[in-house]
Amino acid sequence: MAFTLISKTVKPAEAKWWNQVDPEAAARVGEFVKSFPGVVSAEASELEPNVWQSVIVFESKAVVEEYKKAMATNSDNALRKAYNATHGITTKFQGQGE
For residue 95, what pLDDT band results from cuts at 50, 70 and 90? confident
Q: Specify the pLDDT at position 58.
A: 96
What span, in angstroms and rounded, lies between the C-alpha atoms of 32 and 83? 19
pLDDT exceeds 60 at position 1: yes
The CATH number of 3-97 is 3.30.70.100
| Most distant CA pair in the chain, distance | 41
What does the domain layout of the chain look like in residue ranges?
3-97
Q: CA angle at residue 37 from 79 to 75, to 5 degrees? A: 15
Q: Specify the pLDDT at position 94.
A: 87
- Residue-wise pLDDT for 4-45, tens only, equals 999 999 999 999 999 999 999 999 999 999 999 999 999 999
